[in-house]
Amino acid sequence: MKKIRLLPTIIVKYFLVSLYVVFLIIFKQDENKMTFASYRSNKIKDNLAYLSEEMRANYPEIKQTYLFKKMDSSLYGKLSYIFHMVKACFHLATSRYFVVDDYYFPIYVVKPRRDLEIIQLWHSAGALKKFGYSTVGKSFGPSRSYLKHVPIHGNYTKAYVSSKEVIPYFSEAFNMPKENILPLGIPRTDYFYNDNRLLEQCFYSDFPDLKGRKIILYAPTFRGKSHYQEAFAIPFDVDYMEKMLQEEYVLLVHLHPYMQAGVNAADTDFSYYIKEGYTIQELLMLTDVLITDYSTIFFDFSILERPIIFFPYDLEDYKKERDFYYEYEKLIPGPMVMDTKSLVEAIVNLPDDHEIKQFKDRFFDYQDGRATERIAADILSR
């Protein structure tokens, strides 16, 4: 049965490998070509967008190409993605630099040119949830039979992370030499060092009723192995929170882009589901208190040294399915609660920022808003 399920992957692999060899023979490499690719979005965003803008501003000789197609798990979506991967093989054959921010299948099945730089700008800061080779044997992870045909996270020439602290975990996850993993920062976190007055003006123009109230942001991690999750039920009692906190606070709900609908929180005077219009970095900048579980955005948010409350309602199940690089309960820089009453109490009695500052200093070697600048210079220095 496993061989039958693997067969389509094997067929696609050898189809792409054959095309790639043809492209290598027919087309020359462009020494100034940099391709940005992702299946997380249909347009450039986050780390890749920051690096692209830096290249445009300070390295105009670099020619940029974009390959963005959000993965759709339907049959049509998978067939469409095959055509996307054909284009990817062409750009792998003709680029000097190829930059990704997540898993990207074509990279792992071809044999790249010797002088092609394949850069991994992983989409999350720090290191928390296990991924890649760290999840082999877990229900979340790849099977050993799959790895025989697709050596996931292979062929990266370098990867960039937030601190020396996490290099061993990325080395394990990518099956990659530690010396090729560089702690120069996370490009998108540069945003937190900018002036946010214009952002506040825009936000309160869109939501005038929220002015003067503190913002609680609930941003949980994505759950599931496929690219989409049909529904998500907020695990705490929003009505109770509204009753206890409405005069001083407002609750914003922001979900991972793969989490589609089914949220049990209609917009009220207290709770707002923010699906579009604001990036997660913008929402974090506006937030006074973050509620999350295992989403690594709390690493990003620690830069602002504001309170974080953790609501890991399915912690034991999550450990069995995926697990963590650290002992979760000891790592998190804030109170952990499991019910709505305790959550409200934690919000009313917020901790000071001392623990969060220590956490920030541990997981961000640089705190200057110049990560993108450093990474761009490093990429082009070799």
In 10 A of CB 281, how many CB atoms?
21
pLDDT number for residue 1: 34
Summarize the confidence of residues 115-122 as an average pLDDT: 97
Domains 2-185+369-380 and 194-363 share a fold: yes
Summarize the confidence of residues 364-373 as an average pLDDT: 98
pLDDT number for residue 107: 97
pLDDT number for residue 259: 59
pLDDT at position 243 over 80? yes
- Of 199-208, 210-219, 229-238, 244-253, the least confident: 229-238
Is 120 in contact with 100 (CB distance < 8 Å)? yes
- Of 43-57, 213-227, 271-285, the least confident: 213-227
pLDDT number for residue 268: 79
CATH architecture of 2-185+369-380: 3-Layer(aba) Sandwich (3.40)
pLDDT at position 310 over 50? yes
pLDDT at position 4 over 50? no
Q: In the structure, what pLDDT confidence band is assigned to residue 5 with cuts at 50, 70 and 90?
A: low
Does CATH place domain 194-363 in 3.40.50.12580? yes
Helix ranges, the chain (H): 2-26, 46-58, 75-94, 105-109, 144-149, 167-174, 197-206, 238-245, 280-286, 297-302, 315-321, 328-331, 340-348, 354-363, 371-380
Q: Which residue ranges make up each domain of the chain?
A: 2-185+369-380, 194-363
Q: What is the pTM of this model?
A: 0.93
The neighbouring-strand residues paired with 120 are 100, 159
In 10 A of CB 324, how many CB atoms?
18
Summarize the confidence of residues 110-123 as an average pLDDT: 96
